[in-house]
Amino acid sequence: MSKLKIALEKRLDEIFGKYIRIRDFRKGCITCGCRLTYETATCGHYMKRRHKATRWSEINCNAQCWACNHSDDDALYRLRLVNLIGEAEVQQLESLAHDYADFTITDLNDLITKFKILTHEATN
Ligand SMILES: [Zn+2]
């Protein structure tokens, strides 16, 4: 992977994570329900970040506390996600995660722009 792509993915991870935290911190941790602030919220991936096809999916990510984000108990996260988006959507997410995904430089730039706009809207 090119150096530019690596840098863009890193930038996208930052902007996307910021967006998820701003969008969700008021709801508390999706897994344990504890209260969060923007500062204590983390961007928790249901299907892990190594699955590129769902790495920047808005339904795959929710605010989590640090402990839940670093726990290996994904069963509870799954249960909460089913409550939030439904079993069919969760199954679709699990299937999509294993698809091959190749993001071009244009794709990455477009996603960066998209989440910058969404973050701006969520802030105001
Ligand atoms: Zn938690």
Q: Note the pLDDT tens digit of each residue in 34-52.
A: 999 999 999 999 999 999 9
How many distinct structural domains can be found in the chain? Answer: 1
CA 48 to chain CA centroid, Å, is 9
Is residue 63 assigned to a domain?
A: yes
For the chain, what is the mean pLDDT?
A: 96
Q: Evaluate if pTM is beyond 0.75.
A: yes
Q: Could you list which residues have their CB under 5 Å from ion ligand 1?
A: 29, 31-32, 65, 68
**What percent of the chain stands above pLDDT 70?**
100
**Residue 27 reports pLDDT greater than 80:** yes
Q: Give the Å distance between the CA of 76 and the centre of ligand 1.
A: 10
Is residue 121 assigned to a domain?
A: no
Query: Which range marks the domain in which residue 79 is found?
Result: 3-116
The answer to whether 93 and 54 are in contact (CB under 8 A) is yes
pLDDT score, position 124 = 76
Is residue 49 assigned to a domain?
A: yes
Q: Give the Å distance between the CA of 9 and the centre of ligand 1.
A: 26
**What percent of the chain stands above pLDDT 90?**
94
